[in-house]
Structure 1
Amino acid sequence: MRSKSSIITIFIAVLLGIGLFLYYYKFPKEINADRTAVSFTEDGPSSTMNTSIKIKGTLYRPIFRQAKFVGKITIDAYDFTKQDGMAYIFITLKSNGINMGNLTYQSNEYPFNITEQGLIWFDNNFENINIWSSPEWKDSGHHKNMFIVAESQNYEEAIDIQKRMRNKFGKVFVPKE
Structure 2
Amino acid sequence: MCKFKAAPIVFAGTLLLLLSFCFLLLYDFPKKIDLDYPAYEYVSGQSGDGEETRIKIQGVLKRPIFRDEVLSGKIIIDKHKETADYELIDVGFHSKNGMGLLSYTRTWGSGFEFIRRDLDG
Query: TM-score of the superposition, structure 1-length normalised?
Result: 0.61
Query: Which residue pairs with 1:31 in the alignment?
Result: 33
Q: Contact conserved, 1:106 with 1:116, CA < 8 A, in 2?
A: no
Query: Which residue pairs with 1:105 in the alignment?
Result: 104
Q: Which runs of 5+ in 1 are unaligned?
A: 118-133, 143-177
Give the paired residue count.
118
Query: Which residue pairs with 2:10 in the alignment?
Result: 8
* Aligned equivalents of 2:95, 2:107: Cα separation in 1: 28
Query: Which residue pairs with 1:62 in the alignment?
Result: 64
* Aligned equivalents of 2:37, 2:76: Cα separation in 1: 10
Query: Which residue pairs with 2:51 in the alignment?
Result: 49
Greater radius of gyration (CA): 2
Letter in 1 for 2:37: R
Letter in 1 for 2:61: L
- The CA deviation at 1:92 is 2.8
Q: Contact conserved, 1:41 with 1:47, CA < 8 A, in 2?
A: no
Q: Which of 1 and 2 has higher RCO (CA within 8 Å, sep 6+)?
A: 1
Q: Contact conserved, 2:70 with 2:93, CA < 8 A, in 1?
A: yes
Root mean square deviation, CA, Å? 2.0
Query: TM-score of the superposition, structure 2-length normalised?
Result: 0.86
Letter in 1 for 2:100: G
Q: Where do 4+ consecutive residues of structure 1 move more than 6 Å?
A: none
